[in-house]
Structure 1
Amino acid sequence: MNLKEAILENQNYVDPDEGMYVVFAQKVNNAFEPSSDARILLLRHEDFETPIADFTKVHCPGFDYFLEMNIIQDFWGDLKANQKISQEAKWIKRLIQYAENDA
Structure 2
Amino acid sequence: MKLIEFLQNTEKIDEESVLYVKRIDGQFLPESEITILNLTEEELEWKTYEVTEKKCPGFEYFMESFLIKEFMEDISSQYPTIEKKCNRLIHYVEFDA
Alpha-carbon RMSD across the aligned residues, in angstroms, is: 1.2
Say whether 1:99 aligns with 2:93.
yes
* Deviating 4+ runs (over 3 angstroms): none
Q: Distance in 2 between matches of 1:36 and 1:45?
A: 27
The residue number in structure 2 matching 1:2 is 2
Mark the runs of 5 or more structure 1 residues left unpaired by the alignment.
none
Higher strand share: 1
Q: Distance in 2 between matches of 1:68 and 1:95?
A: 12
CA drift at 1:50: 1.1
- The percentage of counterpart residues that share the same residue type is 32
Of 64, 67, 85 in structure 2, the residue corresponding to residue 68 of structure 1 is 64
Q: How many residues align?
A: 97
The residue number in structure 2 matching 1:77 is 73
The residue number in structure 2 matching 1:45 is 41
Instruction: Give CA-to-partner distance per residue, 1:8-65, whole Å, 9 cap, x none.
Output: 22221233xxxx2011010012110010110111112221111111111110000001
TM-score (normalised: structure 2) = 0.91
Q: Distance in 1 between matches of 2:74 and 2:11?
A: 14
